[in-house]
Structure 1
Amino acid sequence: MNINELHDAWITAGQNYTDKQANVQNMAIALANGTKDYTDEEIKNAKKEMNKAKQARDLAKDALDSATESNKMVESTKPVAKTLTDEHHVFANGVRDLMSGKTKVLNLVSSSSDNQTTSGAGLTIPEDIETRINKLIRQFDALQPLVNVESVSTVSGSRVIERFGLMTPLTSIEDEDADIAENDEPKLATVNYKIKRYAGINKITDSLLKDSDENIIAWLTTWIARKVVVTRNQAIINVLNTAPKKATITNVDGIKDLDTGMLDPAINRLGYFLTNNSGLNTLKKVKDAMGRYLLQPDVAQAGAFTFDGKRIVVVSDNWLPDVSKDTHPLYFGSFADAVTLFDRENMSLATTTEGGKAFEKDQTWIRVIDRFDVEMVDDGAMAVGSFSTIEDQPANLAPKA
């Protein structure tokens, strides 16, 4: 069996163990919540399968390490010059010399930190790439800051939340000896989440990586950061679009109906509008009955606008695209109350010079996996609309006939 086959076997065994582990975790959660009963035999078998899968994964890793060592397939490392202080060069040499083991690395299978040198499978990458990527992500126009983000440590779970709803008043009691009536119950709902995996691979020839350190690293970190933002944005948009919808908006009254006509007043006071840059450009041209532009400058933020006293948050078309050609999105609500992103917080980065076809093609393959889930928590906390053009308000000062 060659190195590639052993590497693939290790990856497959690792995924199988992750699946078995997730199954045991789900059973534990279900038992804790009282939503399902499992027999002692079922619990015993699940734990047995998980332990067996772990042994298979560890065996595959040992076999891969042994084969790599015996076949002398570890690339010789290139020492970093002591005078090389620029962090881009340091990081670039870390990626290029994947097996150096001189810097703290990320264990890409378990997503845990490990100071030990990883042998010839080529599965390490300098840890500071994650810091670099996270800094870039914050620079982009992401939707994630608008919603509620909850860090989770399990692959699935549930949350009990209280929805906005009608509430009856307390019962008036005239007779001091009368029995007190029971209150109506809070409107509770269970929101389930299940962490999903999103992944992609970049392939770089080793000669290009050696010849163009700066350009390759800058491209790599920016590409991964953009990919993560786009991926999470799309998941958030998909959930936003499940909220109650308003017919296509064509006039100013339709915009007002989106907030005051569809949501609870408590949410209305907290809410704000969300659209993309193309949508804002269209709204900025709408005039009121006096011929003045309808949008007002936001005194709290230079360059921002408000409508009917509500602020308008604008996101680039790159991150919040049009619904269709020349049709722009318009959301209103308290998005932090409406949507929650459950973040597993262990994006993993893996590189290999030997897995797949990388060894045959003299390439370095870089894989990113992001883990999260987005769920609608309260669809009564926001509403969805869209528009192409908005009519100017008609002049209302014309003399009556």
Structure 2
Amino acid sequence: MQGFLKFFVTINVFLTIYCDNDQQRKEEHGYCEKTDDGVTCDNDDNLRLTRLDGGQIGDVRTFTVDDGRKLEMKTLNTKPLVFEIEDFLTDKECDHFIKVAKEIGLESSQTEKQSAKRGLQLMDLDSDKALSLTEMKLTIENGYDMYFDDEDVIEMYKELKLDPNNDNIITQEELTISPKELANYLNGYIKKHPEKHSRYSRQAWLYPDQSTDTVFQKVQKRVSKVVELPLDLIRLSDFQVVTYGVKGHYNAHLDSSKIREGVRCCDRGKYSNCRICRYMTVLFYLNEVTSGGETAFPFANKDSINETEAHLERVHHLYKNCEDASLRVSAKKRKAIIWYNHVIDEETGWMGDVDEFTLHGGCPVTEGEKWIANFWIKTNNDKSLDLEKMKKLPSLK
């Protein structure tokens, strides 16, 4: 942080960051300032995360960014709250991030399910000790993060000789293979049909607190100003560049985990026995997509959410059901969309429960390629942990 970063509580009890020299506000509401010994914060109890007021759908606010450009932030949706900013990035910045990602090297994307060691749980929903086609699809989806159609399952039955009477129902007696044999078959199948995975893309990571890239630093400051959060909190976050080819997609998911008592937020590079904690998402579109590649929110504006019904109806399966999503945002170069994965805890003023209406994903690219960047603004439930990390960060050059 350069100079003073002052935090004050508005009448709506959310944090506003400002950089003037108003001594009265400094004394009344607390502040943080960079000193030779790090960052000194006063009146930490009053510090609260920002959640911008979206107003109504279609509302627009105008602001000037670092390079003098005037941008408009438009409220796209209110349940969940989603903002859209055309031309947030410049063409050069978009191209720069793609170039940097290629230089780092892109690797095949994985989901939390894919990277974790998971046992096989048979999804016998009606407890009849047999698996219908739907229940077998859910078993494969839950255990292996693969989205099979009926035809895929029937083909598997034939290859593994699981359904001798061809009734498409697998009883306990017919389930004669081990989980390892099933996994071997599925891994071989997915190599031939990678689009069956929940996520089909490649990615590279950039870390703000470790980067000396001046373009990246400039964008970090812009994000800090727009979302009204401290630059040092932005610098503790993660930035992921992702590319999708034809059929590339990411089925519907949450960017952050639900709160589980006694389970801490994951630290970067340490993902064992922890949960993903991302207060908000800033998503950038880095190129023009010829066809497809929208960002879809299947639960947007729904009255309520029934997870079981959603899985049975395959709401998450955007590779096949993208057009059914109630909110879809087109991919357009330079554009940013912003949403909050969590509400704010009223008592602590920091990260509260996950907002399940933010379930979202990337629709399949049908022509060309798609490049995006996810800027995940990370926080803990415990505000003191974030403040401690912020104090230890060196100043930006």
Structure with the greater alpha carbon radius of gyration: 1
TM range, smaller chain:
under 0.3
Q: Name the one with the larger helix percent.
A: 1
Normalising by structure 2, what TM-score? 0.24
